Amino acid sequence: MSARTLPLLFLNLGGEMLYILDQRLRAQSIPGEKARKAKTQRLFVFAVMNDIITTMFNKKFMEELFKPQELYSKKALRTVYDRLAHASIMRLNQASMDKLYDLMTMAFKYQVLLCPRPRDILLVTFNHLDTIKDFIYDSPGIMNQVDETFRRLIDTYSCLSDGEFQLIRQTLLIFFQDMHIRVSIFLKDKVQNSNGRFVLPISGPVPWGTEVPGLIRMFNHDGDEVKRTEFTTPGNYVTPQREGSFGLYGDRVLKLGTNMYSVSRPVETHMSGSSKNLASHAKENIVPNPLAKEELNFLARLLGGLEIKNPSGSDTGFRLNLFTTDEEEEHAALTRPEELSYKVINIEATQEPGRREELSCILGELEVAEPRPASSGKGEDLLALMDAL
C-alpha cells in the first residue's frame, strides 16, 4: 500500500462530485424564495459551488490530507464526502447521496483502469483541478487555494519514480476492486457489462515513451541487434504525438478526468446486488418509455426541488434530488443493499467465564461501534477538520 495515495483519491473523487452537482444544480429548478435570494439560477449554482470548493481546498484541510498515511476506510471516506457535499445550503438525503457517491467512484475507477501509464494518474488529477478552476474563475481567493493545491501536487509527486506510481495505482485498484455498480452512461457507451465490470479497449494510443507492439528484436551478448521478427496484433495501436504537461498550466493531452457530463445524456446507477432490481431495470430497458426518455435528458433530469421545512423556522437550505422523482428516491432508500447500511451493534461484555471466548468469536465477524479515539490516523483528523470548517 502506498502512503501517497490519499490526496489523489480525494481530489479526483471530489472533482467528479463537483461535475455531477454542477449539472444537477443547473438542471433542477430552484425554489422561488431561494432563487430570489440568489437573483438568478446561475448565481445560485455559483454560490453553492464556491462554498463546496472553498471547504474542499481549505489550507489546513490540505495540509492534513497530504501527510503520508494509509487510505481511510470506505465508510470514513464516504463520511468526508457527505459532509463536504453539505458544506453549502444544498441538502441531499441518504438515497441521493448514495447515488452521487456511486457515480463518483465508478467514474474514477474507470479512469484509473484506462490510464496508459501509472504516472498518468497525476494528469487525470490535473484535469479535474483544471475544470474546477473553471467553476470559480470569478473568485480569485478560491482560485489561489486551488493553485496552492496544484503546487503541493507538483512538489509531492513530480519526484516519485515509476515504481512508486505503480504502487499508487495498485492501491487505488485495491480500494475499488469490490465496487461493481452499473452506470447507464457507461452501459450506453458499451464500456461496462451488465454485471458492472468494465470493458477495457485493446486499441488506441500506447503509453508515452513506448513503441507500437508488433516487432520483436533479438540481441547478442554484446548488445548488438541480430534479428527482427514481426507479428500481428489484435488491436490498432498508435503512437502519442506528445506527452501531457505536468506543470501548473499546459495541455494535459490525456482526456481522462475531464467533465464527461458536459454532453447531454441520461446517467443512472443500478446496484448489482439485487436480482429483483436488475430484472425490473432490464425490463425497463427492453421497453423504454418515450416520455421518460424525454424527461431524463441528462443525468435523469430532476424534478421537484422542494425546500426542507425546519420546525424551528431556521433556514436549512434546499434539497437536491439525484433521482427522476421523489418516489424513485424513496424506493432506492427502501431497497438499499444491506452491506451499505450503517448500523451500530451494541454488545454487553461481562466477566462471566466463557463469555470472553464467545465475545471474541462475535468480534471476528461484526464491526463493533466503539468510542472514537482522539486521533487514530484513519480518518478522524480529516473529519474533525471538516466539522471545524
- Residues 152, 154: Cα–Cα separation, whole Å: 5
How many residues are present in the chain? 389
Tell me which of 21-30, 150-159, 351-360 is least confident. Answer: 351-360
The contacts of residue 389 (CB under 8 Å, 6+ apart) are 55, 58, 61, 87
pLDDT of residue 364: 40
Q: What is the CA radius of gyration of the chain?
A: 24
pLDDT of residue 320: 64
Domain-by-domain residue ranges, the chain?
5-203+244-267+317-346
Is a pLDDT exceeding 50 seen at residue 77? yes
Is a pLDDT exceeding 90 seen at residue 10? yes
Is a pLDDT exceeding 50 seen at residue 300? no
Residue 328: pLDDT band with limits 50, 70, 90: low
Is a pLDDT exceeding 70 seen at residue 350? no
Instruction: Compute CA distances 159 → 141, 150, 162, whole Å.
Output: 28, 15, 10
Residue that the C-alpha cell 433542477 belongs to? 28
Q: Are 81 and 17 in contact (CB under 8 A)?
A: yes
* Span 214-254, pLDDT tens digits: 899 999 999 999 999 999 888 888 888 888 889 888 889 99
pLDDT of residue 299: 40
Q: Are 119 and 207 in contact (CB under 8 A)?
A: no
Q: Percent of the chain beyond pLDDT 70?
A: 64
pLDDT of residue 321: 57
Average pLDDT along the chain: 75
Decide which of 376 and 88 is more confident: 88
pLDDT of residue 57: 94
Residue 326: pLDDT band with limits 50, 70, 90: low
Q: Are 92 and 320 in contact (CB under 8 A)?
A: yes
Tell me which of 25-29, 228-232, 342-346 is least confident. Answer: 342-346
pTM of the model: 0.70
Tell me which of 71-75, 199-203, 338-342 is least confident. Answer: 338-342
What is the rounded average pLDDT of the residues 75-80?
A: 89
Q: Are 14 and 62 in contact (CB under 8 A)?
A: no
Is a pLDDT exceeding 80 seen at residue 52? yes
Residue 137: pLDDT band with limits 50, 70, 90: confident
pLDDT of residue 145: 94
Angle between helices 140-157 and 6-27 (to 10 degrees): 150
What is the rounded average pLDDT of the residues 168-189?
A: 91
- Residues 121, 257: Cα–Cα separation, whole Å: 9
CA dihedral sign of residues 84, 110, 7, 207: negative
pLDDT of residue 313: 44
CA dihedral sign of residues 184, 190, 194, 196: negative
pLDDT of residue 48: 86
Is a pLDDT exceeding 50 seen at residue 160? yes
Is a pLDDT exceeding 80 seen at residue 341? no
- Grid cell at residue 284: 425497463
